[in-house]
Structure 1
Amino acid sequence: MLYNIIMLPTKNDHQLGMEFVCIEELVPQDHLLRKIDKVIDFEFIRDKVKDLYCADNGRPAVDPVVLFKMLFIGYLFGIRSERQLIREIEVNLAYRWFIGIGLRGKIPDASIYREHDLSGDI
């Protein structure tokens, strides 16, 4: 018995191409996080925690505004696990835009919440 095998072309160029993108353009203007970002200035968080940070010893600190915004995303969108929150931030452009980490930026590890007892129940 003979079988005819039809080879369909595959498209794998998404792994090879390089594109210049602006994350600002990829997040819809009407996204909830854009609306929140317009009305809440999260800079007050730095003032609240500045005495808890030491500039001359230990490893570099993670920006407290980034940490807070990550927890805020978890609360707002019902993401209850720190690990799941990190996974969601890795793939969601609006989340990355909101916390100020671009497409190639490093997202803090989930352990940061346990090390500083920040999570409780997100």
Structure 2
Amino acid sequence: MIGKQNKNANFFDSYVFDNLLPKKHILLDIKKEIDFSFVEEEVRDLYDTKNGRPAYPPEVLFKMLFLEFYYNLSDVEVVRECQVNILYRYFIDLSIDEECTFRYNACRVQKEVRQ
């Protein structure tokens, strides 16, 4: 079952992101120019629609894999960075108060993508 992402930023998220993010950064440009919604369509057939709990949103996992590739990070490092790096949290559409517990899922997705 594909998990859905809550993209409604609350007031606190908006305040933090507006005031703490750099004005110019490559990740901001990528987020603005690329619509990552295609990811869900591409992987829809890999998910069972009737059984299991909702998975983490594929778009978030894809963006984390992008960060791994772009910054040459390991699975553990990208999760750690997404826990503390506000720019990364903004890029992957993770709210300030959400936990980043994607380590296992990121590893599994990488394995499935490689097949």
Identical counterparts, % of pairs: 37
**Alignment-derived partner of residue 26 in structure 2:** 32
| Match among 67, 82, 88 for residue 75 of structure 2 | 82
**More relative contact order in 1 or in 2 (CA 8 Å, sep 6+)?**
2
Residue pair 1:62, 1:108 contacting (<8 A) in 2 also = no
**Alignment-derived partner of residue 48 in structure 1:** 42
**Alignment-derived partner of residue 108 in structure 2:** 115
Q: Provide the rounded CA distance (Å) in 2 between the counterparts of 1:30 and 1:111.
A: 32
Gaps spanning 5+ residues in structure 2: where? 1-11
User: Normalising to structure 2: TM-score of the pair?
Assistant: 0.76
Q: Deviations along 1:99-122, whole A, 9 cap, x unmatched?
A: 0001111213311133342587xx
Residue pair 2:83, 2:99 contacting (<8 A) in 1 also = no
Residue pair 1:45, 1:64 contacting (<8 A) in 2 also = yes
Q: 1:48 to 1:86 in 2, by over 3 A?
A: same
Q: Deviations along 1:47-96, whole A, 9 cap, x unmatched?
A: 111111223211221100000000101111121x1111111111100000
User: Normalising to structure 1: TM-score of the pair?
Assistant: 0.72
Q: Provide the rounded CA distance (Å) in 2 between the counterparts of 1:87 and 1:40.
A: 24
